[in-house]
Amino acid sequence: MESLLHLDLELFRTIHLGWACEVLDIVAPLLRNKLFWVPMYVFILSYIWYNHRPYLLGFVLSVALLITVSDTISSKIIKPTVERLRPCNTPGIMEEIRPLVHCGSGFSFTSSHATNHFALAIFMIGTFGFRQKRWKWLWLAWAASISLSQVYVGVHFPFDILCGGLLGAGLGWLGVISYRYFTVHIRHLPL
């Protein structure tokens, strides 16, 4: 376990300090800001409205439930149980942090950004025709870029986003299975 934590710290330093550049100092805080992604969310809702109008409500409710569950598990169950400090609050490390965003007082493990965004990415891959190969990679790259930005700005360790991403992917897949089940049994949702 000590070797794993040491590797985690070295990866954190590589990403947070080793990748430091002016462009990423601007881009990384934007990527993790939920308002930055509003145009994409509007596009998705517009796409579903245009192509699958009768099913928009079921889709929105499914996504809302998925994000509520993933955020609750990450933020309200795992973080208070594990109580891992954020890098920007960890003595011996916080002195090295380049403050790009507000650190926050919450715990670090698992990253809720990673959990929520990987859950949504996997859900999108499994629904509404986003199954094409190019869409899969775009959704995964989207979730990964948001997750890595958490490390870059200094609020999470790499292990936090890795475990958050895996948790989110699992929850996203359960969301897809549930969505498909209700699609078959309640004809108001598309396959």
- pLDDT score for 129: 61
Whether residue 186 is predicted with pLDDT greater than 80 in this model: the reply is no
**184: confidence class by pLDDT, cuts 50, 70, 90:** low
Mean pLDDT on 95-109: 89
- For the stretch 68-98, pLDDT in tens is 999 999 999 999 999 999 999 999 898 989 9
How is the chain split into domains, by residue range?
2-185
Tokens of 124: 């999108």
Name which of 111, 49, 52 is nearest 78 in CA terms: 111
Whether residue 187 is predicted with pLDDT greater than 60 in this model: the reply is no
Burial letters for 107-121: b for 16+ Cβ neighbours within 10 Å, e otherwise?
Answer: bbbbbbbbbbbbbbb
Helices (H), the chain: 2-13, 22-31, 38-52, 56-71, 79-82, 112-125, 133-152, 158-185
Burial letters for 39-65: b for 16+ Cβ neighbours within 10 Å, e otherwise?
Answer: eeeeebeeebeeebeebeebbeebbee
- pLDDT score for 34: 86
**53: confidence class by pLDDT, cuts 50, 70, 90:** confident
26-30, 52-56, 143-147, range with the lowest pLDDT: 52-56
- pLDDT score for 191: 46
- pLDDT score for 130: 56
Q: How many CB atoms lie within 10 A of CB 156?
A: 31
- pLDDT score for 9: 94
**What secondary structure, in 3-state letters, does 91-118 show?**
CCCHHHCCCCCCCCCCECCCCHHHHHHH
Whether residue 160 is predicted with pLDDT greater than 50 in this model: the reply is yes
The phi, psi pair for 82, rounded to 5°, reads -80, -40
- For the stretch 110-154, pLDDT in tens is 999 999 999 999 999 888 665 567 778 889 999 999 999 999 999
Predicted model pTM: 0.90
Q: How many CB atoms lie within 10 A of CB 158?
A: 22
How far apart CA 79 and CA 112 sit, in angstroms, is: 9
The residue among 189 and 173 whose pLDDT is bigger is 173
Query: 2-185: what fold?
Result: Vanadium-containing Chloroperoxidase; domain 1 (1.20.144)
Whether residue 23 is predicted with pLDDT greater than 60 in this model: the reply is yes
